[in-house]
Amino acid sequence: MSKVTRRGFLMGCSAAIAHMTGARLSYTAFGSQEQEPNQPILLTVFLRGGCDALSLLPPISGDDANYYHLARPDLSIPDSGVDAALPLNDKFGLHPAAVPLYDLYNAQKLAFVHAAGLKSDTRSHFDAMSYMELGTPGSKATTTGWLARHLRSLGADDGVVPALAADSLQPQSLQGFYDAIATQSASSFNLNVGYSYWRESHQASLRNLYSQSSSSMHLAGRQTLDAVQLFADQGVGNYVPVVDNYPNDSFSNKLKLIAQMIRLQVGLRAATIDLGGWDTHDGQANGGAPAAGYFASLVTSLAAGLAAFYNDLEAAGSEYTNRLTIVVMSEFGRRLRENNERGTDHGHGGMMMVLGGQVNGGHLYGPWPGLHTDQLYDRADLEVATDYRQVLSEILVRQMDNNKLGYIFPGYTSYAPLGIVQGADQPIDYSPSLNDVYLPMVIR
């Protein structure tokens, strides 16, 4: 099977430069379905700010529901009546604004892991995000992100766009993977400034300049030129969904860019997307209507966007969704007790979502630690019962065909799948280093 290799692509460029005629490179030759490797695709959605898992997945019965309502007189989601939680099982419900996700849950494409997250003792956004994204809880001395190490250990330099950060800056999880592209807007993603007459030889010379060395700056420049070429050739940013239920907001606009990249078949293996605004210290819900207001609007954006994205790709073909796993996480959950500004302060345990064609959906996974004061973390917050690395490890091994957990999550030595996704287990490689050393791409 011939593959779109990054190396081959860059060599093609060198040939083009040799003529200085500015021969355009064609991706369409690589773009057919048969030729793309059947690589699995991992999309991570990060809810920045600390998502309140107890509003998203409230307890709806038993003692825990009582503790929950007592601690949150103004904020708890009702378990019956108007705006009641949508029941997921006999113990937990889903925020009523998340109807599109409820449909995916009932279609068994979506699973939740409650009381999941980072086990480190921190309530700092910046620490918690760094620990999670670097994949080394307790240490920010790590120089690369967990997703970067996943891609590096696959030797994943064989796509034109192997990784995409759909935001303006690259997240820490991708730090150290220089083949990742970070871009939010496609409309100005071109070099169309200056004289059009010299434009092509100018770009060819730029590529030559950035091919003189393998420093990180040179690598990043070549990556940029690849992306410019791709965007120009493929009309990136002018995406036509198969089924268009995307809301008109920035989260969904970014999702559309990811959907287009997947359907362009340019070797995408990982994508990241942020949805910010979850740091709800005040005004989390409307007075007298806990299921409405600010938090509900965030849930709406998340749920409608993710469902539109998934259903669009499924309509485009199950060959897309069957290769796709979407995982949603946040740096921490929030305190059980509401504060006196109708908000919640930084807490501990949160929740994760897993969505995809190979997900054993329609279930909640993970042990539940309980909401009695004695069961709380620091007697204040939901405890973390499931380490976020346990969820990610299962996805990496069973869906991403990567067993190098020792390298991706140093110090994490207890692979224990919860059964969230389908796929086979394999012997885990817990060695902390890669045997085949990843070499930065050089022109040869």
Partner 1 sequence: MEKDPSVSSAVSRRHFLQGVGGATAGVAAAALVPTAEAAAAASNTKGTIPAFEINSAMPSIPSLAIIALNRIAFGPRPGDVAAFEALGNTDDERLATYVDQQLAYDPDLNADPEYKSRLEVFTPETTAKTLGQLWADHYRAEGVDYSVRTQPLREIERLAFLRAVYSKWQLVEVLADFWHNHFNIYAWTAPIQSIWPHYDRDVIRAHMLGNFREMIEAVAKSPEMLYYLDNESNTVNGPNENWARELFELHTLGAENYYGVISQDAVPVDSEGFPMGYVDEDVYEATRCFTGWTVSDRDSDELGDTGQFIYVEDNHDRFQKRVLNGTGNIPATNIPAYQAPLKDGMDVLDLVAYHPGTARYICRKLCRRLISDSPPESIVTSAAALFRAQKNAPDQLKQVVRHILLSAEFRTTWGFKIKRPFEVAVSALRATNGDMPFSLSHGDSNSFMYYFNPMGQQLFRWSTPDGYPDFQSPWQSAMSILMRWRLLGWLVEDRDVDDSYHVDILAQTPANIRTANGLADFWIERILNRPMDASTRQIIVDFMAQEAEGPDAELDFDNNRVKGRLRTMVALILQSPDFNWR
Under the binding rule (CB under 8 A), the answer on residue 137 touching partner 1 is: yes
| List 1, 240, 424, 439, residue binding partner 1 (CB under 8 A) | 439
| C-beta of 36 vs 167, nearer to partner 1 | 167
Under rule CB under 8 A, which residues in 208-227 are in contact with partner 1?
A: 208-210, 212-218, 220-221, 223-224, 227
Pick out residues in 264-323 that bind partner 1 (CB under 8 A).
Answer: 274-283, 294
- Using CB under 8 A, which residues numbered 226 to 255 contact partner 1? 227-228
Q: Which two tokens stand for residue 225?
A: 């030129």
Residues of span 319-378 touching partner 1 by CB under 8 A:
339-341, 343, 345, 378
Long-range contacts: 190-194, Cβ < 8 Å, 24+? 190/228, 190/231, 190/232, 191/228
User: 181-208 burial by CB neighbour count: b if 16+ within 10 A, else e?
Assistant: bbbbebeebeeeeeeeeeeeebbbebbe
Which x/- pattern over 45-74 shows residues binding partner 1 (rule: CB under 8 A)? ---xx-------------------------
Q: Which amino acid is present at 318?
A: S
Number of chain positions touching partner 1 (CB under 8 A): 92
Instruction: Using the minimum distance from each CB to partner 1, give the nearer residue, 131 or 320.
Output: 131
Residue closer to partner 1 (CB basis): 105 or 178: 178
Closest C-alpha among 255, 75, 38, 241 to residue 158: 38
Q: Quote the least distance from Cβ 60 to partner 1, whole Å.
A: 26
* Crossing angle (nearest 10°) for helices 6-19 and 199-209: 120
Residue 14 in 3-state DSSP?
A: helix
Q: Say which residues have a Cβ less than 8 Å from residue 423's Cβ, sequence separation at least 6.
A: 358, 397, 398, 399
Q: Which of 91, 84, 45, 94 is nearest to 331 (CA)?
A: 45
Helix (H, G, I), strand (E, B) or coil at 286: strand
Smallest gap from Cβ 107 to partner 1, in A, equals 29
- DSSP one-letter code for 84: P
Q: Is residue 1 part of the contact set for partner 1 (CB under 8 A)?
A: no
Q: Which of residues 160-199 bind partner 1 (CB under 8 A)?
A: 165, 167-172, 175-176, 178, 180-185, 188-189, 191, 193-195, 197-198
Write out the binding residues for partner 1, residues 72-111 only, by CB under 8 A. Answer: none
State which of residues 115, 258, 410, 415 lies at the interface with partner 1 (CB under 8 A): 410
Residue 276: other Cβ atoms inside 10 A: 13
